[in-house]
Structure 1
């Protein structure tokens, strides 16, 4: 799984897939892989990074060690002098036997905020086969909020409680709030109350598309074992234009809980996973949905495209009507929840009770 879950290998595979599509299918198909920020592996790509850094003067970047987790070793920078100071304390020369590699990634400095706070989403994806690629995506997950309100002023660049959503970092804040997580279902309702159903469905359809494409990029490099499966934790950030960005993919995502809601989400994920694996042989292999998991790819795309009445334009805007929908205060969350049935893109659905698609069960390999 390292081709997907190691930060440097993930970006290598995504870039390779984008180049291949550009050569074989053209710019439009290649542009479907523009869901990750500009990223460079250091020290090997320092020259390329330097060119991009100078070309985008004034932008903020984030540095991440490829072999650590829980936010350890991460920092933001906007000056090359900050890199120079960092280099002095790290064995990072490419010819050093124990060089520690990092990725330098352009920081998404206009994130979508709720109550002024930045967040990302942890989404659960189950892969039961890489040949053929078989992908299940759980409808729930959670949004992780920062403890401090977001402010893009450069003077706040070292404030980890403002910029990094990792729970292991946020829990160290003096005024730490235990309620820094929302279930994704609650987040969807919030987004729909502000931007409408169409814009919210587009966002989560794009997230589903992004997840499947990331897996397609490593399909040929991950060794297939028909007796194995893997649960991944996808970390996704949404910007102010409701465009999703893939931040990283985690193997063996943490299943410890910090609240009752957190416990229920993770319990449901594990319970539904066991049902899909079907050790007792109770399933026929023809279902499209098992518990909270939807089959989104099984050698081919599952489901139909959502309505084209709202679409993302060339400048990544979903549309003024969608982004200003929140001005219609007459639409209550209760009313929205009752109307969210029957959408045709599995992971974008809020409530599947109205789906008319025939259920096709997991086909055991």
Structure 2
């Protein structure tokens, strides 16, 4: 099967290009914009000539059939809400930070021949995401694991948002997609960027909650986003616990990165060990200092004084059945959501994190970051 090359994609973006899951299938409303010399031998071109301003119009029965089809797909595809039309995938090296080596691909069939042999994480890109002032953002959320047997997880109730430097567009795979500070610092703010985007490209979660209230979603943070992030983190930890090298008496502070879908559903992108504590703004200067102080209180002071203040940390999970009898009350247990994707790659049995559409591919071994690996640098 041939694939739509990037050159052709660029030449057709003005023609309301809509690709299905078949990368060689092209649907355009303007036949004259198609450069046939750039088509593959097996490309299929679908075109309906416009006879009026509305173009092709569905009947009421056809519209109902489409709605029923989408509803049935939603029952079978739990990640349908993040799908779009362009079939974009993102490739990440298995143990890199700062956005190094990450690539966006327009179609899965373009991916396999374009990467080097090694460890890669392959994710379906979240095409239908929430933007703020037309700009993509992600959320850096901290949590601490103080024990793996029993699994004990503490969630930090403060976090921050990171903005890109240019307005979001799926037709330009550049500075609009990776929100890492270490990536965005190399780009100048676009002249068409909304002036309401903060100059330092950072918001606190409190600023985000104020914005949600302004757009009529005041309850979304506590009722949808926070529970969703907790559930995704627990999914990831439970799936990866057999691969984590852990010694009793150790702890680890992690940084989880999320994007938010159009329906305010958080999607876990990755989990970083040794998340950066280098401040890049007034917000991160305060929050990074706070989380370091509270982490020390949690793992040191609490040993001698179980009732001491642990700041913004909240115990969200402690596993039952490891001999100490400790367990949380039922209301503290989070739903673990859809089953995780388990895959078997060329390096044996591996588990992908609960990231959007993560898959294992024949030449890779999906993995999470482990304690002892190089720390993440600013971003």
- TM-score (normalizing by structure 2): 0.58
Give the superposed CA RMSD. 3.2
Q: CA deviation at 1:116?
A: 0.6
CA distance in 2, matches of 1:144, 1:112: 13
Higher helix share goes to which structure? 1
CA distance in 2, matches of 1:84, 1:205: 36
Q: What is the aligned counterpart of 1:72 among 93, 100, 111?
A: 100
SS class of match (1:103): strand
CA distance in 1, matches of 2:207, 2:329: 25
SS class of match (2:147): strand
CA distance in 1, matches of 2:330, 2:219: 17
Distance change (3 Å), C-alpha of 1:86 and 1:291: same
Q: What is the aligned counterpart of 1:304 among 311, 314, 331?
A: 331
Q: What is the aligned counterpart of 1:163 among 163, 174, 177?
A: 177
Show the counterpart of 1:127.
Answer: 145
Structure 1 residues without counterparts, runs of 5 or longer: 1-30, 39-52, 93-99, 307-311, 313-365
Show the counterpart of 1:294.
Answer: 314
Q: What is the aligned counterpart of 1:151 among 159, 169, 172?
A: 169
Q: CA deviation at 1:58?
A: 3.7
Larger radius of gyration, structure 1 or 2? 2
Distance change (3 Å), C-alpha of 1:75 and 1:116: same
SS class of match (2:226): helix
Distance change (3 Å), C-alpha of 1:35 and 1:298: farther
CA distance in 1, matches of 2:78, 2:253: 24
Q: What is the aligned counterpart of 2:217 among 190, 196, 206?
A: 196
Distance change (3 Å), C-alpha of 1:305 and 1:222: closer
Structure 2 residues without counterparts, runs of 5 or longer: 1-74, 191-197, 320-326, 338-379
Distance change (3 Å), C-alpha of 1:199 and 1:251: same
Distance change (3 Å), C-alpha of 1:222 and 1:84: closer
- TM-score (normalizing by structure 1): 0.60
Q: How many residues align?
A: 244
Q: Is the 8 A contact 1:232 1:250 kept in 2?
A: yes
Q: CA deviation at 1:128?
A: 0.6
Task: Give CA deviations for 1:160-188 in whole Å, capped at 9, x if unaligned.
Answer: x1111111110001238742011112212
Show the counterpart of 1:217.
Answer: 239
SS class of match (1:226): coil
CA distance in 1, matches of 2:147, 2:80: 24
